[in-house]
């Protein structure tokens, strides 16, 4: 994962929990986190209601997290242009074209006839924030995605030498307004483009949802043309009949309702690459302020406390960690010392381990009757630590995307 945070703190390298796991193997994740009879102590800091249910919904209520897989009907969705019409798996096809020797049009039956591959992957929207970021803290879920691998399909089409980038097109789209200087250039006295002088015109375009990857990224061996979620046919809101699944990336890369895969020889600059889902940073370099603009890409190391439970007098903090192969998770109560949480089993397949969240829990010994702050931080197998809000990688952000800072929640212990 190239986009991991730079804060390499080898101090915590290879946290002991990674090796201590075998001890826990006997209990499945449900047993560990389920505790169905335990009482959930509500957070004091509940997010406000979702103001944009047409764009996103079914957001995870963290307090309900009790198994590693999120059922499809509880899985959050994001749809910038609604669910497209005409979804029909008998007529649907995905075109693979552009700079390829053998363009192809693949039906669902063609895809299903190819090798079946599954990957468990936690998909988080890059807009998912901490509790201080507004309503959007539940834009995350974990599923077993099934389909066929993208890379061999691309190869079979014969990528031409000049093909450097792959664009994945959805079926959904809408009207977008782009500033255009035609009026200034043709009508202006000087002929010089002068933005924001009132002479510019807006251009209304119809834009289809699309995202691109470099050829190398697209060839990643776990990318799937996905038609199944948790062993069932992909639901409409999650991209039926076919979507891209790009394990290790933020949600936006996973184009739903896929209709076209196009190989091109330039950088694709559609809305969701170049205008929206762009992280803007204000960085200090050698005493100078530099603004940077990057497309939201690979997932980032992150964790969140999910809930506090009580069974008789036994309190527990539960949560999840994801975005990189997790070595350990630590929890801090108020200003106390960081305590090592216990991680649940990793998923069965080796490859899924870095892609899927790890649930964790911590025995909370004898909390006092008071309001407490609970914070977690994840550490990956390379020793990277989930940033605090003050870390430069986080604090330099001027947009809300990729908010992977440590999350603090508050709870009142009676």
Q: Which residues bind ligand MTE (CB under 6 A)?
A: 75-80, 123, 125, 170, 172, 209, 238, 251-252, 254-257
Interior angle at CA 229, CA 129 and CA 234, nearest 5: 100
CB of 220 to ligand MTE, least distance (A): 17
CB of 316 to Mo ion, least distance (A): 31
Q: Which helix (H) or strand (E) holds 281?
A: strand 278-285
304 binds Mo ion (CB under 5 A): no
Per-residue DSSP letter, 387: P
Pick the closer one to ligand MTE by CB: 47 or 170: 170
CB of 135 to ligand MTE, least distance (A): 15
In contact, 311 and 35? CB cutoff 8 Å: yes
Burial of 13 (0-12, 13-18, 19+ CB in 10 A): middle
Q: Give the distance, in angstroms, between the CA of residue 6 and the centroid of all CA atoms in the same chain.
A: 19
Pick the closer one to ligand MTE by CB: 124 or 342: 124
CB of 251 to Mo ion, least distance (A): 4
- Secondary structure (3-state) at 152: helix
Pick the closer one to ligand MTE by CB: 184 or 226: 226
Pick the closer one to ligand MTE by CB: 171 or 331: 171
CB of 406 to Mo ion, least distance (A): 21
Edge-to-edge strand order for the sheet containing 358-364? 39-41, 302-311, 314-322, 358-364, 342-343
Interior angle at CA 155, CA 122 and CA 325, nearest 5: 25
Stretch 229-258: interaction string toward Mo ion, x if CB under 5 A = ----------------------xx------
CB of 94 to ligand MTE, least distance (A): 13
Query: Which residue's C-beta sits nearest to Mo ion?
Result: 125
Q: Which does 309 bind (CB under 5 to 8 A by kind): ligand MTE, Mo ion, none?
A: none
Pick the closer one to ligand MTE by CB: 167 or 184: 167
CB of 295 to Mo ion, least distance (A): 13
Per-residue DSSP letter, 266: S
Q: Which does 409 bind (CB under 5 to 8 A by kind): ligand MTE, Mo ion, none?
A: none
Q: Which two structure tokens, joined as six digits, stand for 31?
A: 């047993």
Pick the closer one to ligand MTE by CB: 121 or 209: 209
Q: Could you give the CA distance from residue 88 to residue 275 in angstroms, rounded to a whole number?
A: 31
Pick the closer one to Mo ion by CB: 78 or 210: 78
What does 341-384 look like in DSSP terms, one character per residue?
A: PEE-PPPSSGGGGGTS-EEEEEEE-S--SSEEEEEEEEEETT-B
Residues at the contact surface with Mo ion, assessed by CB under 5 A = 78, 125, 251-252
């Amino acid at each position: 994962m190239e986009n991991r945070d730079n804060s390499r703190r080898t101090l915590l390298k290879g946290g002991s929990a990674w090796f201590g796991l075998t001890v826990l193997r006997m209990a499945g994740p449900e047993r560990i986190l389920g505790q169905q009879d335990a009482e959930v102590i509500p957070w004091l800091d509940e997010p406000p209601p979702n103001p944009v249910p047409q764009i996103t919904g079914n957001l995870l209520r963290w307090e309900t997290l009790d198994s590693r897989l999120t059922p499809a009907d509880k899985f959050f969705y994001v749809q910038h242009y609604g669910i497209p019409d005409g979804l029909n798996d008998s007529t649907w096809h995905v075109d693979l074209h552009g700079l390829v020797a053998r363009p192809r049009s693949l039906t669902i039956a063609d895809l299903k006839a190819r090798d079946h591959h599954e990957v468990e992957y936690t998909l988080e929207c890059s807009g998912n924030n901490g509790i201080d970021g507004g309503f959007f803290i539940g834009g995350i879920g974990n599923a077993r995605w099934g389909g066929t691998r993208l890379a061999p399909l691309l190869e079979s089409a014969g990528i031409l030498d000049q093909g450097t980038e792959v664009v994945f097109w959805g079926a959904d789209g809408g009207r977008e307004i782009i500033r255009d200087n035609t009026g200034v250039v043709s009508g202006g006295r000087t002929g010089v483009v002068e933005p924001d002088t009132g002479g510019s015109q807006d251009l209304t375009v119809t834009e289809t949802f699309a995202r691109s990857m470099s050829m190398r990224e697209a060839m990643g061996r776990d990318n799937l043309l996905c038609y199944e979620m948790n062993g069932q046919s992909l639901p409409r809101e999650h991209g039926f009949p076919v979507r891209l699944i790009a394990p290790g990336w933020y949600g936006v890369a996973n184009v739903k309702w896929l209709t076209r895969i196009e190989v091109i020889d330039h950088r694709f600059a559609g809305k969701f690459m170049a205008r929206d889902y762009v992280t803007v940073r204000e960085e200090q370099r050698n005493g100078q302020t530099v603004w940077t603009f990057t497309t939201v890409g690979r997932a980032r190391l992150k964790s969140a406390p999910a809930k506090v439970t009580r069974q008789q007098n036994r309190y527990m903090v539960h949560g999840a960690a994801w975005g990189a192969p997790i070595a350990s998770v630590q929890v801090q109560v108020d200003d106390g010392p960081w305590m090592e949480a216990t991680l649940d089993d990793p998923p069965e397949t080796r490859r899924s381990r870095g892609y899927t969240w790890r649930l964790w829990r911590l025995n909370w010994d004898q909390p006092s009757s008071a309001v407490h702050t609970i914070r977690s931080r994840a550490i990956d197998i390379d020793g990277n630590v989930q940033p605090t809000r003050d870390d430069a990688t986080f604090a330099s952000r001027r947009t809300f995307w990729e908010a992977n800072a440590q999350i603090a929640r508050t709870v009142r212990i009676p």
